[in-house]
A and B are shown apart, each in its own frame.
Chain A
Amino acid sequence: MAETANPRFLRPVAAPGADPGQAMTFAQPLKLDSGRTLQPFTVAYMTYGTLNAARSNVVLVCHALSGDQFAASKHPLTGKPGWWDVLIGPGKAIDTDRFFVICPNVIGGCMGSTGPAEIDPATGEPYGLTFPLVTVDDMVRAQAMLLDALGIDEILCVIGGSMGGMQVLEWASSYPDRVVSAIPIATGARHSAQNIAFHEVGRQAIMADPDWKGGEYQKFGTRPAKGLAVARMAAHITYLSEAALQRKFGRALQDREAISFGFGPDFQIESYLHHQGMTFVDRFDANSYLYITRAMDYFDLAADHDGSLAEAFRGTRTRFCIISFTSDWLFPTAENKRVAHALNAVAANVSFVEIETDRGHDAFLLDEPEMFATVRGFLNSAAASRGVA
């Protein structure tokens, strides 16, 4: 039913030594929330560490909007270290000497999992905007099929930040018997109006780029790089905090002694954002960005349970550890706490940790020793509860 191969990347591999990971292609259909199906479909993924004989040491890592499966190893396209290298590795909080880490690329993504840039087998052309809308639920359903194919029934811990955290909540809600413990970080059970608003700015920037060509840019051999870069720049501001921006950049000028009385990048913050935008377009597909932001916008776990978030978790035996950051205004502590309160309402086993930092939403990707200690302690406790050495 499913077979593995090397993943197919849209961009040239810049780090030939990097492990490209695997890609599993499923012949059976993936049923989507929209009512449509994807068939066949592929899930690209990386693994770290070794699966134990009891198959009980699995840690599933879910990536965020702009992330991918290269959580703890060199990125084949950029040559950069894994986005969660600080957290995952031998002896680290998610210790790959003990745990078997699986990190899949989401459906709709652009690093080997089926997404809008892939060829539609029905037409022989890239999907573009004919690709069906996917939801966080769909992403998780595809991951569940991947784990089935790998012969993994139980997940010791599912962990992720931001959109990764949404997948964690969806996993715990949809597959309570498979998930021993869950660590949703800097996330929420729904996308707020403000979050949808920022995503819409990003999407409009992409679609306003003449090179987008109604989403068919692959056919025309163009790339809406400017639109995608602007989308990334706007989004990147939401990942930081006012205090951190002030601390890192202030009003410092970029390679000049005085303002230029023009529109070049006078300020360091401008130059920084340009850099963020430019490097992003080298590794990300614009249509993927549209689809994945939409999936986040549609996420509303309470709505899927008659408006009651607590109902999403009724009867759960999963242990939860929710982590938020004081300066995160994209998924503020209050949004994270809503989940904790809902879990309390069904007497679930929940820990909640708020970490003091000025680094904003992106803190979950950074060197935050208190987050590491929390993850390590919680994961150790979950492992002990299942007799994982």
Chain B
Amino acid sequence: MKPTVRALRPDLAAIAEMVPHGSSVLDIGCGDGSLLEFLTASKAADGRGIELSQQNVNACVARGLSVIQGDADTDLAEYPSQVFDVVILSQTIQATRHPSTVLRDLLRIGRRAIVSFPNFGHWRIRLSLLARGRMPRTRALDYAWYDTPNIHLCTIADFANLAREAGAVTERALALSEEGRTHPMRADAWGPNLFAESAIFLLHAGKQQPA
């Protein structure tokens, strides 16, 4: 049975809709492989995955997916340039040690890059810090400050700025609400930066690579 787009997590479903039929796809931080499986089965994608957890990798391969154990921070450098139609980094960039390097690698490896991340500019997070004076814990970011894997959190405005610095062209930007609804947004608008729980950017490298 083909997996349906509705069975996917809302942010993954929104990402899947950005991937053209028949693309070669590299999903970095592919987790249990549900997006890869969907793209392979329903979008005829030539899909590969990189995943940090060996347990997840083994489960993916047993399901027939091409997945390798690896780390976005260290292993992207070895990939040649412009070999995938789409490179996906979903809810992972905030957990990398060098988000800027990782983003530049995405733009180099893929003709297009899709990046999704939790928006640290969400009003609940702002309010939580303002009102309680403690590091925010929300449904989407439910970690104590001392054991969070999310070492490089950013707001939508922050990410838009990094993308610009990396010489990326934003083709599309989507805001995701708490209920999982998606809305097209302008990356530099103040509204989504306050109300979106997470964001998805579809990018490609600009003609002029900044130094």
Chain A residues at the B interface, C-beta cutoff of 8 Å: 319, 321, 340-341, 344-347, 349-356, 370, 373-374, 376-378, 380-381, 384
Contacts and interface: CB of A to CB of B under 8 A. Distances in A.
A45 B63 CA distance: 32
Interface string B56-84: 01101111111111100001001110011
Nearest to A380: B64
A377 B63 contact: yes
Contacts, number: 65
Contacts of B84: 347
B54 A354 contact: yes
Nearest to B24: A347
A384 B64 contact: yes
Given A341-B78, A350-B68, A351-B68, A377 B83 contact: no
Nearest to A333: B69
Contact of B66 (A319, A354, A370): A319
A347 B83 contact: yes
B160 to A, nearest CB: 30
A377 B64 contact: yes
Given A374-B62, A377-B62, A377-B63, A349 B48 contact: yes
B66 A350 contact: yes
5 contacts: A340-B68, A345-B80, A356-B54, A373-B58, A377-B64
A353 B60 CA distance: 10
Contacts of A350: 48, 66, 68
Given A374-B62, A378-B61, A351 B67 contact: yes
B66 A374 contact: no
A350 B83 CA distance: 14
B64 A381 contact: yes
Contacts of B57: 351-354
Contacts of B70: 352
Interface size class of B (residues with CB under 8 A): 20 to 34
Contacts of B46: 349
Contacts of A377: 61-64
A384 B75 CA distance: 29
Interface of B: 46, 48, 54, 57-58, 60-70, 75, 78-80, 83-84
Nearest to B63: A377
Residue among B61, B66, B83, B84 having the largest count of chain A Cβ atoms under 10 Å: B61
A380 B57 CA distance: 17
Contacts of B64: 377-378, 380-381, 384
Nearest to A326: B54
A346 B83 CA distance: 9
A373 to B, nearest CB: 4
A77 B118 CA distance: 64
Nearest to A352: B68
A374 B63 CA distance: 8
A353 B58 contact: yes
Nearest to B47: A349
Question: Which among A346, A351, A373 has the highest number of chain B CB atoms within 10 Å?
Answer: A351
A-B pairs with the 3 shortest C-beta distances? A381-B64, A377-B62, A347-B83
Contact of B58 (A346, A349, A374): A374
A347 B80 contact: yes
A350 B64 CA distance: 12
Contacts of A345: 78-80
Contacts of A374: 58, 61-62
Most buried by A among B46, B58, B63, B65: B58
A370 B75 contact: no
